[in-house]
Structure 1
Amino acid sequence: MSLRSRLSIATAAGLLAAAAAVTPAAAAHDDWDPTGGNGNHHHDPSGGNGHHDPSGGNGDDHGKPLFKGVVTANTLALRSAPNRGSQIIRHAHKGDIVSIFCKTGGETVKGNPLWYLLTDGTWAWGAARYIDNIGPAPRWC
């Protein structure tokens, strides 16, 4: 892993920690409304190789293009870490379009171990099980 990649990850982690420190915890909710979500999450079955179609990004954040996704759960808790026990930063709702910085492995949610680091206003992790990709699969963190 290059120094630039490590620096980007460290920066993202620092921003996420800062956001978690200043964001009040929301009332405890599960990560999804069981009646919501269609369970049709799409991800890169090859495991990803860090390459993507440049047209798949929507902007530039820390020098990296962002990817897009759509929330499929009625309500999705976005968290401070890629697991359901971490602090809730905010919520996304069914149909919301979200900006994805990268993906990583975390706690498995309904058979899917991937989590996306989202950059919409605050840095927060969302279970990939409830976010369908729009365009190419996000790169690995």
Structure 2
Amino acid sequence: MSLRILLMRFGIAAAGGALLAYAATTPAAGAEQEDPRKSEQIVDGEVVARAGLVLRSAPTRGGSVIRVAHYGEIIKIYCRAEGQSVDGSRQWYLLVDGTWAWGSARYIAPFKAPRWCDA
């Protein structure tokens, strides 16, 4: 197995672990908590893929398909991370749309630069 593939798998596993840790420390439904979509850290962006953008469960083309965002749709970006290259761009955005799906930054035009996921 190449070092590149090993590092990519490690990165995906680390991102998944971080999401699980977040879920484990988040109060139960109905408990007083802040909605992440209302956070100042959320950045709006627009889908610029003419045929629509496939949103995935991981920042790779191999991630499970969650849904398709249509051209011109305004989406909410929680953070950005490095992932599999898509047409020369390795950045992916974690979207807050109720599913926490990943979309390639190559096909999303953010209104301002989102923060890095590990920040």
TM-score over 0.5 for the pair: yes
Q: Secondary structure at the match of 1:65?
A: coil
CA deviation vs aligned residue, 1:69-116 (integer Å, no higher than 9, x gap): 000112111000000011001110100000000000000000100000
Decide which structure has greater helix share: 2
Please report how far the alpha carbon of residue 14 of structure 1 lies from its aligned counterpart in structure 2 after TM superposition.
2.5
- Structure 2 gaps of 5+ residues are 1-14, 24-34
Equivalent AA in structure 2 for residue 120 of structure 1: D
Cα distance 1:91–1:12, how it changes in 2: closer, same or farther (>3 A)? farther
Distance in 2 (CA, whole Å) between partners of 1:10 and 1:84 is: 16
CA distance in structure 2 between the partners assigned to 1:63 and 1:94 by the alignment: 25
Give the counterpart of 1:118 among 84, 90, 95.
95
Is 2:47 aligned against 1:71? Answer: yes
Cα RMSD after superposing both structures = 2.8
3-state SS of 1:13 partner = helix
Q: Paired residue for 1:128?
A: 105
Match of 1:82 in 2: 59
Aligned to 2:69: 92
Once residues 71 and 93 of structure 1 are traced to their aligned partners in structure 2, the CA distance between those partners, rounded to angstroms, is 7
Structure 1 alignment gaps of length 5 or more: 1-8, 18-58
5 Å-filtered alignment, 1:1-141, equals 13-14=19-20, 60-61=36-37, 65-73=41-49, 74-134=51-111, 136-141=112-117
Distance 2:86 2:43 in 1: 21
Return closer, same or farther for 1:11/1:83 CA change in 2, 3 Å cut-off.
closer
Query: Identity of counterpart residues, as a percentage?
Result: 49
Amino acid at match of 1:67: V
Give the direction of change, closer, same or farther, for the CA distance of 1:110–1:137 in structure 2 (3 Å limit): same
For residues 16 and 95 of structure 2, what CA distance do their matches in structure 1 show?
A: 15
